[in-house]
Structure 1
Amino acid sequence: MATRIKNGYDPRGAIDSLILKSLEEKLETQLRQAYSDIEYVHGELKVLSMGKDLPKAYKAAYARLRDVAALPLRVLHEAKKKQISEWQGFDPVELDMPPPAWIDRAKQVLEQINAVDLELEASLSEARDVLLKGQSNAIFDWAMPASVKVTLTLNHGPKRSIYDHIDEEYVGDGKCRIRVGCEYSPGMNNGEVENWSEFGDPDHPLFSGVCRMTYLSHCIVHHLPLPWELLPCIDEIEATLEFHDYQTIWPVANREVRICRVIEE
């Protein structure tokens, strides 16, 4: 159980558990990505090492590179077969119930996140409408769906300065950044604060019948998952808009020639 300190509620147990979980997921993601990247290069080298039209010296060089790629590939394959949780064997720490003032602050933060979520959706819709006005003259297809990725900045405090090193952008200032596990897209709320909360117990401080959640709030609390006790520890939430499209821009013969794109105000 977490302890209470003289100045009030102590959420450090939940902070420890959250950061451990986020780094577990980060490691799993990086292992999968590294395996995929090396496997692709290994496949290319393997084909070239057996190429009939290549001089023997080149085939031998490709074979040596193939063997170099095979070693980390085997290591990563073994790592992928294991669950990270099996490696560190950790049981999450349960927290004491926060005092009323802490609970009130958590509810206030939740309401603010709900409000900014709806504002974000409205802003995305507005930007999309502006882009589509010039779609007929655009090289890129602005009708392609854009996504918003969310990063949360957590104030872990001076007593957990060990976490300063996990994000170089905030070294030494008592904060760390954690990626929220969601792929936010417009239309999740339909202009209303729909209830995405999973707190169905009437005795829970954030009972869904009283405290509603938009999609963004749901992703932070239930997907990250950020223990609801840590809502008052959120320092900042960042949203990164990402848009991906691919168009051939040269030679001109491979695409439709369009006149200069102008968006009227």
Structure 2
Amino acid sequence: MDFSVISGLLAFVLYVVACLIVIRQLRGEKAPSRRSILIPGLLAVIAHAISLWEVIITPQGLQLGLFPVASTVAMTGTALVLISSLYRPFEWISAMVYPFAALSIPAMLWVNTGYVAQPLAHGLGQHVFFSIVAYAVLSVAAGQAVLLSIQDRQLRSGHIRGVMRLFPPMQVMESMLFEVIWLGQILLTLAIVTGFFYVDNLFAQHLVHKTVLTLIAWVVFAILLGGRYLRGWRGRTATRFTLSGFAVLLVAFFGSQLVLEFILKR
């Protein structure tokens, strides 16, 4: 059996185990212990990274197809949640990121879209790095926005139920959300800037739609951050802008990549 498959399956099992541990603790209305998150999660990320290295690094160049990149984003997001959990109560999001990271592994290993590995063009490495980390950070922001939306809905109904009673206060949740969005926006800016350095012809490289949608997402997040600073936006407004911006960003890369690889076969 290929080493990438062995390490990938190991990561899959560890993600599932870690997720089950967190869900079990949440069902018992007990805050997840950081040890139960960090140990299996860290081992899963290491095994996942090894599998990704074997899949993406090829003699012909980098395999940056839809599913390898999606799996890389999932792994990076998981790693960010684990690191953030050391100093911020991000353990709640682990119950959301573990399943996505686990499901991305079989797709990475066994779904072939026909993408051909290519050597990196000059400057592409920085763009790819910033893009992947930006997607991962803003994915975490989207997860935080979903939790904040649930918390806000229950507060408005006047009845906090289940594990939501263990969540940090809403002000803390909002503060964490905007911290993540600021980081994601900075990384997205760097991804856009470095991207323009290596793109020679947007039309020839089939990047017009991806570029336009990414810029739209950047504007959405910029408006949200400006509204927060100038008008104190919070609650539903914050979650709606966050999820809208993230949805546009998903279509920008994954939607366009899906069309290119599955329909246009490019």
Structures share a fold, TM > 0.5? no
TM bucket, shorter chain: under 0.3
TM-score by length of structure 2 reads: 0.25
Q: Of Structure 1 and Structure 2, which has the larger fraction of its residues in strand? A: 1
Structure 1 length-normalised TM: 0.26
Larger proportion of helix: 2
